[in-house]
Amino acid sequence: MASAALLGAVFAPPAFAQDETDYALDTITITGSGLPTKVMNSPSSVTVVDEEEIKKIPPSSVANLLKGVPGIRVTESGIERIKIRGESSQRVAIMIDGQKITDHTNYGTPILISPTEIERIEVVRGPSSVTSGNAAIGGVVNIITKRGADKPVEATVSAGYLGANKGYRANTSLAGTVGDFDYRLGWSQSDLKNRETPDGELDPSGSDDRDINAFLGYRMGQHYIGVRAQDYDLSADVYVGVPGFEINLPKRDLRKYSAFYEGEDLTPWMSLLEIDAYTQTVDREFESNMAFGPGMFSNSTSNDDQKTSGFKATANMEFAAGHRTVVGFEYENDGLISDKLATRVVGGPPSVTTRYSDATIKTTSLFAQHEMEMGQATTATLGMRYYNVESELSRYIVNSVAQPSQKNSDDRLLGSIGVVHQLNENSVLRANISQGYNYPSLSQLFLTSVGAGGTVIGNPNLKPEDAINYEIGARIDNGRLVLDTALFYTDSKNYIASLATGVPRESRYENVNAAETWGFELAAEFDPGWWGGVRPYVNISNVNRTFKFEDGSTTKNTGTPTWSGDIGVRGDWGLQSTSGTWDVFVRGESGNTDTDGTRYGGYGTLNLRGTVDLTDNLGMSFEIGNIFDRSYHAVDQIPGAGRNASVFVTATF
């Protein structure tokens, strides 16, 4: 009886109105299913970080905006990257406006855009390769950029101090709509110094970036076309904490040009036709140095020029009531020219090796997703994607001697199925089965990389990594409780890892590992109605991973915290003509052991975040991090910042 009473209280319609919560389940998203769908009704695990939520966080980086999303962890190796449900950033698809940023390093895909240019971020957790393509075993982060404003001229100026690194970010933009045209011009720059921890300064650990972007759109009735250009420069210092060992990332720059077309209601049965094309270049410089002893050292540099072009066309169709279908075609040509130099001195004359390579991956895929209503309360979604991938090392020169060319290819069919059942107008149950796919990078296939850790050799016979995910979940938005939770299990195979070849300090990429991952995620916020808008909330993730090796052995030492997330309370405040928001929360994770056996203790930090609306056109966000100045070191990160304060002011005219 007590359980029945509790369920009735949770699922019943509200007896009073709730203040606006920070969890938005009514937001429309397309990343989860390829069809415009409210988060509430998506079969996938989807979170949308919208513009209002972004404004509440001082914009040190894009990754910092995502730390409150269940299942998300940020890794730090000079440049921040994203892990989802324990899967490395190499297995997470990072997109800008639906167009993927590809990467061929051993570190994973970086996020190459300023946080001030973002309208919203859509995050899908779990394998999503049917709707989002390659490299989506862990999930997808789709960054949607800003377009024009709703008046002829809108100028925005913002700047702030970011205390964790005693640095700053400044931004200005000009946007508007004039007749049928809309436009935006933006500039952003940051300079972050070394991180300050309770135990001292981490030298070197700073970074700086600069982002210049432009957008122009034109609407002709049902037709809308747009072009965008982006010029993004990033450099970072990598803190390794080992005497005599240093890594430098002087350049990770993106140049991107894209164009798109959107046609709405072109026929009675086609609600939307989208076509987009882009070309982008990523210039990367990498250098590592390590001293082994007097007169003994190694130095390696890599200058990479990665050029990617892509084309995508999708059509949303509704041939009958209760049925929606999206079909699409996608093509990507991803090329990498790499120029590497390795120098090693061990008690004798220097040993110098030069390597020049030119390689490409060409991916063609067709996909379709169909949604159908099954009765009054149930909706089912079926999806399929066919892949054809061709890769080739066309030129490979070692110490001025040409080496044989190499090739690899793969084709396969992936599928997904999802069901959403509406219990009532305020709550749903859902289930989802989806497949993930990750084709090897050009480095893993063909290149030889040299660093302080030794030499890693590519393997042209590698198979793609793949995964299948099962999950069930529930969502509630009844006016006083907003809840989104999921229970998941993922089986991943053909993991690529480097194995020793028998030659000292040399390894080779092989398909040797598998992984089982299971756990649950919970994001919830509750407004009891009698606390003046004060709302307790929780955002936690439980992830359990086991690696399986070719010899049959297993380990739970995967560097993944079993527990992580935020617990806090937030609300709104007002004083005469000034108002804003406040948020007090504890962020932390449990202890865990990395794959190399290193043990990391758990931690929890108390933090305060808030906003101040000074006028209709002037606002401020602020944050005090790690209030008790706790010393901590999380896996895949450098030691955490000590007590720090950040403040960011934005004026719009």
Tens digit of each residue's pLDDT (9 = 90 or more) over 161-213:
999 999 999 999 999 999 999 999 999 999 999 999 999 999 999 999 999 99
**How confident is the prediction for the chain on average, in pLDDT?**
93
The token duo for 267 is 């026929």
Confidence at residue 301, expressed as pLDDT on a 0 to 100 scale: 93
Rounded to whole angstroms, the Cα distance separating 578 from 402 reads 70
| Percentage of the residues of the chain whose pLDDT score is greater than 90 | 83
The answer on pLDDT for 516 being more than 70 is yes
Rounded to whole angstroms, the Cα distance separating 636 from 78 reads 11
Rounded to whole angstroms, the Cα distance separating 297 from 350 reads 9
Q: How sure is the predictor about 4, in pLDDT bands with cuts at 50, 70 and 90?
A: very low
Q: What is the pLDDT of residues 548-599, one digit of tens each?
A: 988 889 999 999 999 999 999 999 999 988 999 999 999 999 999 998 899 9
Q: Which domain holds residue 26?
A: 2-652
The answer on pLDDT for 247 being more than 80 is yes
Confidence at residue 137, expressed as pLDDT on a 0 to 100 scale: 94
User: If DSSP codes are grouped into helix, strand and coil, which group holds residue 646?
Assistant: strand
Confidence at residue 14, expressed as pLDDT on a 0 to 100 scale: 38
Residues 467 and 138: beta-carbon distance below 8 Å = no
For residues 505-533, average pLDDT: 92
Provide the domain count of the chain. Answer: 1
| Percentage of the residues of the chain whose pLDDT score is greater than 70 | 96
Question: How many Å is the Cα radius of gyration of the chain?
Answer: 25
Q: What is the largest CA-CA distance in the chain?
A: 83
The token duo for 70 is 């269940």
Rounded to whole angstroms, the Cα distance separating 329 from 93 reads 18
Confidence at residue 297, expressed as pLDDT on a 0 to 100 scale: 85
* Domain containing residue 257: CATH number: 2.40.170.20
Q: How sure is the predictor about 450, in pLDDT bands with cuts at 50, 70 and 90?
A: confident
Q: Dihedral through CA 80, CA 81, CA 84, CA 89, nearest 10?
A: -150
State CA 553 to chain mean position distance. 31
Helices (H) and strands (E) in the chain, counts: 5, 39
How many Cα atoms sit within 13 Å of 57 on the Cβ side?
21
Residues 245 and 290: beta-carbon distance below 8 Å = yes
For residues 272-298, average pLDDT: 91
DSSP 403-434: ---EEEEEEEEEEEEEEEEEEETTEEEEEEEE
Rounded to whole angstroms, the Cα distance separating 385 from 339 reads 35
Residues 545 and 556: beta-carbon distance below 8 Å = yes
Q: What is the pLDDT of residues 50-86, one digit of tens each?
A: 999 999 999 999 999 999 999 999 999 889 999 999 9
For residues 145-152, average pLDDT: 96
396: how many CB neighbours lie within 10 A of its CB?
21
Confidence at residue 453, expressed as pLDDT on a 0 to 100 scale: 62
Q: How sure is the predictor about 11, in pLDDT bands with cuts at 50, 70 and 90?
A: very low
Confidence at residue 452, expressed as pLDDT on a 0 to 100 scale: 59
State the SS3 of 269-312.
CEEEEEEEEEEEEEEEEEEEEEEEECCEEEEEEEEEEEEEEEEE
Q: What is the pLDDT of residues 344-377, one digit of tens each?
A: 888 788 889 999 999 999 999 999 999 999 989 9
Q: How far is CA 551 from CA 462, 516, 548, in A?
A: 18, 16, 8
Confidence at residue 360, expressed as pLDDT on a 0 to 100 scale: 98
Q: How far is CA 235 from CA 79, 189, 230, 286, 404, in A?
A: 8, 12, 17, 10, 35
Q: Does 204 sit behind a cis peptide bond, omega within 30 degrees of 0 on the bond before it?
A: yes
The answer on pLDDT for 13 being more than 50 is no
Confidence at residue 9, expressed as pLDDT on a 0 to 100 scale: 33
Contact residues for 150 (Cβ-Cβ < 8 A; gap 6+):
177
* Residue 100: closest CA among 119, 75, 128, 126: 128
Handedness of CA 49, 54, 58, 61 (dihedral sign): positive
Q: How far is CA 191 from CA 167, 208, 237, 249, 628, in A?
A: 5, 4, 12, 15, 26
Contact residues for 207 (Cβ-Cβ < 8 A; gap 6+):
78, 79, 165, 190, 192, 234, 235, 236, 237
Identify the residue whose tokens are 């490299």. 135
The region of weakest confidence among 13-22, 55-64, 316-325, 355-364 is: 13-22
Rounded to whole angstroms, the Cα distance separating 183 from 384 reads 37
The answer on pLDDT for 433 being more than 90 is yes
